Amino acid sequence: MGLREELESRFGSNFSDSITERFSHSADMGFVPQLVWSGNIKLNLIPDYVIYPTSVEDVVDLVKIALKYKVPIIPYGRATNRYGNALPVDGGIVVDFAKMDKVDVDEVNSQAISEPGATWKLVDLAAQSKGLQLRTFPSSYDSTVGGGIAGDALGIGSYEYGFISDNISFVDMVNPRGEVVRLEGPNLALASGAEGITGIIVRAGVKLRKYAPTEAIVLAFNSFDDTVKAIGEFYREVIPAWHVQVRGPSISTNIADRFNAKLSRGKWNMIIMYPSTRSTLVEPKIYRIAQTFNAEIYEGEWTGWWSFNHGVVAALRSKGLLIHQHGLIHYTKLVELVNELKGFLGELGKLEPNSGFDLDIDLEKREVLLVNAFTEVSLKYEDKKIIYDLAKNTLMMDSFIKVGGSLLSIGIFAHKYAKNRLSAMGKTFQQLGVDRYEVIKKYKEEMDPEELFNPGKVLDPKKRGKVVLEIVGKQQEALRFRFGIGLAKAIVPGGEVQGFTVVKRYLDIFADYAMQCIDCAMCVTVCPQFKLIPQTPYAPKGMFDFVKGAVTYYYLKGGVDIPDDAIVELSGCHKCGLCDGVCPAKIPISSLLVRLNGIVARKMPEEPPVDVPLLQDPELRSVNDNSSDIILWIGKNLVDNPNVAITVLRLLKLVGAKAKVIGTTYDSGFMDYISGGEKLNEKMEKNKSVLASAVEVITIAPEDYRVFSEAYKDYSNMNNMRMGFEVSPIELRLLKSLPIDGNGEEIYLHAACFATPYVGEVIKRLTDLGFRVRKVEGCSGAILEKNLGKRADKMARALGAKYPMLVTLCPLASLKFKENGIPAKTLVEFIAEKVGLTTVVTSSTKAKLELSDSEKQELRNAITTSLLKSLSSKSSIIADTVTFTSSGIDEYKKIIEDVIVEALSDAGDGIKVHIKKLLENKKAQGATYDDIVNYLSALIRELSNIISTMQLDPIIGVVINQVKGLTSEQFDEGVLRQTLILLVRENEKVIKERATALTADAVS
């Protein structure tokens, strides 16, 4: 058994080597990925595997496997740090602690016993439920306990309680020999600030304080001088506040404007927080300071904006590139630091592109300040000249050191400053007489000679990940241009990051927005799908980090392919919009995800209409009244689950309702709407006559509800269509008319994504009928993801594990759940049972035919052979044009696009021959017309799946080798590879359409 097999067999579904999860774990808040994009620093930031341990035993076993195979192991919390601290530098195994987030509150000792993946927010909430609360935490409230201890963070509450290390009672760590050791007192130095290079934190005691409501007062000073003096007052005259933070004038203005925060625009705002129990002690002292320095004083806010120390990053990221450096200094050095910074950044308190800087400061109890310094440049985040971020950063970094301070964390580079951070600024351990730097260094050398634990971080690597040392060289190069970005721009050509342009072709504007994400992880905490499957790519932060990972991969491997199944997996979500509400960067996340789904939906070929003969049954037919102005829209979405349609008809019969029944050959155009396809108009046109005289359209599938109530309303004018009808979901109709007594029964109601507009009303009616309804969120992926990607199945299983039986509003979700072995029914079926109707109408739950495994494999072989053959037939013409690869992907693409599209069309024709033969065989076996149509649908679905998930690299690799043999010209192989991959991906629909463009006689 090799490493991969061993990991998979030990960790099962908590093991992943998919590109979705690997790419999503290769970026953090900082600019380390950009170093790979902009130059030739080949930091391999992409992990080979991601593991989600669920217990200490998991971690111990994982460490043993890593030791056995001598493979790097990198602990990962939420990756909200700035210096690549939780990223690999040489591949390896990333250990994501999302599934180890249990918190127990020990009220007697006022501490929380926390697993490493719990966020500070989670710990705080658990503590508050027991009348306690956190003493201190980084302002990244949604980052983890493990990450906070490993980085020895500080921030909110540090004025009273100091660093995180001051507030930890013990740490359990799996050391580099795979043993669990308990660290307490001075021994905490081994884990605190060590960034995971000495072992993996698996449990910690977090000290808590008594809960009391927090009050906040703001002092708004007119000048920096007054602010500095006021900071001095806080240390000279001990003021029993809990948290003190100072925000510069430009930051204050931006945050006030962007977040509607209660701050004085253009002033130095000092926010002072304290427990309400101490107001009589704190307030007189603050009033005196206000008087002395002529400061405006007003009541502040306690929640919301303050939680983003880097709210300013969010506020400004969209305007240009914000360069940020945070460090620790003694408070008396603040003026000196500012003078240093002024030397190359310009005016303090001003934040404009390429001019000025501003500060955001937290006070720590031992007279240390955590100073965040920000400056802005006119470059875009994805600009090749990002390297000059490094120049300014380096200078800012040096300024902290010059005044005797340190950086906040060391991470992937700046190792030469590790001693400043760990010892000089390691106040907790200084007091205990421990030289933390020396302790960590000695332990590392002794216990981890192979440098497997988070290599390349904190200490200069000697064995592994030595490539990080090249960053120092880059820093020097960048510093040559420190006199201005303008000069750099003149000297360095280009600016466009080619890899970003390539990734954008796959992901469209989603890629642009990814650059605005500040990696604060707030969306992760609220995301219901992350709660169900806590794996980073399934919440927006991971989705955006994926983009950065894909660009990095492009530079590491000379090209990247993102198959449709990865896009589907990435964007699959419940579309609940909770992330939109918390995102400080104000990214319209849920709409972006719908658009991303649309990219794949556009590429899916349409299956031929299938007529499920529902009305052949006299009982069901009796519901139909062609003259009725009420329409029952069954539509194509019910082909997969006709039982639900049959149940609806029987229920309508029971209540004596009549409607004009529209069968399964009709398509509302939902997929066209979602994918922004032109065919929606065509579908509307086709449906115009059936809808013309309707006053009400009753829908069964939430997708149909959505498209009628949104798209048909929006576009009816354009299509010259009468929209005189109301749209009603069937459940609301039935719940109104049927006499049901809930009798206190509990229902787990799965609120399908596209049922959001009416789910509230459904719950209300069920509750009125006496049911106890628990709303269950989580997208089944049944319609948009189909069978591409693994997310939807994982989600279904996670829901199944949590709830005994799901009642869903979506007929397709119900099928998806059942396919995963989860007891589920639609609400329609549930209602039918309550009124005594049997709901199992056909013997099979799924009407649609599926191909057998051997049929699938046969089709896959036919596709691969055909594609390879047709692309190979173009090798000589490609060979004839390769010199043009030197012009870059875009130019070369224009040259060979027609040739490749022709090849894809030929490939499609080749596959069509195969499909025709399969249909002939079926006919020869005596299959009926309906059987043939069903079989063709199954072939089309499978064909689409195969093309959307296939790895193109091997096929393109063969073609490139053929080209090499046909030309003696030098050419850019990377450009050729990427161009071919892109052309096939972008035009895969040509293969799908040609392959399935069968004439009627092929079916009949």
Residues that bind ligand FAD (CB under 6 A): 28-29, 74-81, 85-86, 97, 116, 138-140, 143-144, 146-148, 150-151, 153-155, 195-196, 200-201, 308-310, 408, 454, 457, 518-520
Whose Cβ is closer to ligand FAD: residue 178's or residue 729's? 178
Compute, in degrees rounded to 10, the torsion defined by CA atoms 865, 867, 873, 874: -160
The one of ligand FAD, ligand SF4, none whose footprint includes residue 21, by CB under 5 to 8 A per kind, is: none
Residue 511 binding ligand SF4, by CB under 6 A: no
Minimal distance, residue 749 CB to ligand SF4, in Å:
17
Determine the interface stretch with ligand SF4 among 555-563, 577-585, 865-873, 963-971 (rule: CB under 6 A). Answer: 577-585
One residue of 300, 540, 642, 729 binding ligand SF4 per CB under 6 A:
540
In angstroms and rounded to an integer, the radius of gyration of the C-alpha atoms of the chain is 31
One residue of 44, 590, 641, 979 binding ligand SF4 per CB under 6 A:
590
Q: Is 867 helix (H, G, I), strand (E, B) or coil?
A: helix
Whose Cβ is closer to ligand FAD: residue 143's or residue 787's? 143
Length of the chain: 1004
Residue 577 binding ligand SF4, by CB under 6 A: yes
Minimal distance, residue 58 CB to ligand FAD, in Å:
12
Determine the interface stretch with ligand SF4 among 219-227, 513-521, 657-665, 720-728 (rule: CB under 6 A). Answer: 513-521
Minimal distance, residue 652 CB to ligand FAD, in Å:
54
The one of ligand SF4, ligand FAD, none whose footprint includes residue 315, by CB under 5 to 8 A per kind, is: none
- Of 97, 140, 61, 56, the closest CA to residue 314 belongs to 140
The one of ligand FAD, ligand SF4, none whose footprint includes residue 583, by CB under 5 to 8 A per kind, is: ligand SF4
What is the distance between the alpha carbons of residues 363 and 378, in angstroms, rounded to a whole number? 31
Minimal distance, residue 121 CB to ligand FAD, in Å:
11
The one of ligand SF4, ligand FAD, none whose footprint includes residue 817, by CB under 5 to 8 A per kind, is: none
Determine the interface stretch with ligand SF4 among 184-192, 457-465, 580-588, 877-885 (rule: CB under 6 A). Answer: 580-588
Residue 523 binding ligand SF4, by CB under 6 A: yes
Residue 579 binding ligand SF4, by CB under 6 A: yes
Whose Cβ is closer to ligand FAD: residue 60's or residue 835's? 60
Residue 827 binding ligand SF4, by CB under 6 A: no
The one of ligand FAD, ligand SF4, none whose footprint includes residue 345, by CB under 5 to 8 A per kind, is: none
The residues near 852 (Cβ < 8 Å, ≥ 6 apart) are: none
The one of ligand SF4, ligand FAD, none whose footprint includes residue 86, by CB under 5 to 8 A per kind, is: ligand FAD
The one of ligand SF4, ligand FAD, none whose footprint includes residue 576, by CB under 5 to 8 A per kind, is: ligand SF4
Closest chain position to ligand FAD (CB)? 147
Query: Phi and psi of 6, rounded to 5°?
Result: -65, -40
One residue of 341, 589, 796, 915 binding ligand SF4 per CB under 6 A:
589
Contact 620, 686 (CB under 8 A): no
Whose Cβ is closer to ligand SF4: residue 200's or residue 521's? 521
The one of ligand FAD, ligand SF4, none whose footprint includes residue 522, by CB under 5 to 8 A per kind, is: ligand SF4
> Residue 821: how many CA atoms within 13 Å on its side-chain side?
4
Residue 520 binding ligand SF4, by CB under 6 A: yes
Contact 675, 595 (CB under 8 A): no
Minimal distance, residue 517 CB to ligand SF4, in Å:
3
Q: From the DSSP assignment, how many helices (H) and strands (E) are in the chain?
A: 45, 26
Residue 578 binding ligand SF4, by CB under 6 A: yes
- Judging by DSSP bridges, how do beta strands 746-750 and 772-776 pair with one another? parallel
Q: Is 158 helix (H, G, I), strand (E, B) or coil?
A: helix
Q: Where are the alpha helices (DSSP H) in 187-308?
A: 224-236, 249-259, 279-292
Query: Phi and psi of 279, rounded to 5°?
Result: -55, -35
What is the distance between the alpha carbons of residues 568 and 560, in angstroms, rounded to a whole number? 17
Residue 575 binding ligand SF4, by CB under 6 A: yes
The DSSP string of 113-155 is EE-TT-BHHHHHHHHHTTTEEES-B-S-TTSBHHHHHHHT---
Whose Cβ is closer to ligand SF4: residue 317's or residue 330's? 317
Minimal distance, residue 341 CB to ligand SF4, in Å:
26
Whose Cβ is closer to ligand FAD: residue 138's or residue 537's? 138
Token pair belonging to 308 = 């983003």
Residue 221 binding ligand SF4, by CB under 6 A: no
Contact 805, 748 (CB under 8 A): yes
- Judging by DSSP bridges, how do beta strands 168-174 and 180-183 pair with one another? antiparallel
Residue 544 binding ligand SF4, by CB under 6 A: yes
Amino acid identity, residue 405? G
Query: Phi and psi of 172, rounded to 5°?
Result: -95, 130
Whose Cβ is closer to ligand SF4: residue 386's or residue 517's? 517
The one of ligand FAD, ligand SF4, none whose footprint includes residue 148, by CB under 5 to 8 A per kind, is: ligand FAD
The one of ligand FAD, ligand SF4, none whose footprint includes residue 139, by CB under 5 to 8 A per kind, is: ligand FAD
List the beta strands (DSSP E) in 761-903: 772-776, 806-808, 824-826
Residue 518 binding ligand SF4, by CB under 6 A: yes
Amino acid identity, residue 110? S
Residue 756 binding ligand SF4, by CB under 6 A: no
Contact 297, 218 (CB under 8 A): yes
One residue of 334, 567, 583, 735 binding ligand SF4 per CB under 6 A:
583
One residue of 261, 468, 485, 517 binding ligand SF4 per CB under 6 A:
517
Minimal distance, residue 513 CB to ligand SF4, in Å:
8
Q: Is 456 helix (H, G, I), strand (E, B) or coil?
A: coil
Number of residues that bind ligand SF4 (CB under 6 A): 30
Whose Cβ is closer to ligand SF4: residue 34's or residue 110's? 34
The one of ligand SF4, ligand FAD, none whose footprint includes residue 75, by CB under 5 to 8 A per kind, is: ligand FAD
Residue 527 binding ligand SF4, by CB under 6 A: yes
The one of ligand SF4, ligand FAD, none whose footprint includes residue 320, by CB under 5 to 8 A per kind, is: none
- Of 428, 364, 425, 369, the closest CA to residue 159 belongs to 364
Q: How far apart are the first and last CA of the chain?
A: 51
Residue 574 binding ligand SF4, by CB under 6 A: yes
What is the distance between the alpha carbons of residues 51 and 58, in angstroms, rounded to a whole number? 10
Whose Cβ is closer to ligand FAD: residue 552's or residue 709's? 552
Kind and range of the H or E run holding 9: helix 3-11
Determine the interface stretch with ligand SF4 among 152-160, 526-534, 825-833, 988-996 (rule: CB under 6 A). Answer: 526-534
> Residue 448: how many CA atoms within 13 Å on its side-chain side?
32
Whose Cβ is closer to ligand SF4: residue 415's or residue 574's? 574
The residues near 51 (Cβ < 8 Å, ≥ 6 apart) are: 7, 11, 14, 15, 16, 58, 62, 93, 94, 95, 96
What is the distance between the alpha carbons of residues 370 and 164, in angstroms, rounded to a whole number? 13
Whose Cβ is closer to ligand SF4: residue 383's or residue 519's? 519
- Of 108, 104, 147, 107, the closest CA to residue 122 belongs to 104
The residues near 908 (Cβ < 8 Å, ≥ 6 apart) are: 866, 990, 991, 992, 993, 994, 995, 997
Kind and range of the H or E run holding 297: strand 296-299
Whose Cβ is closer to ligand FAD: residue 195's or residue 561's? 195
Residue ranges in contact with ligand SF4 by CB under 6 A: 517-523, 526-529, 539-541, 544, 573-579, 582-585, 587, 589-590, 593
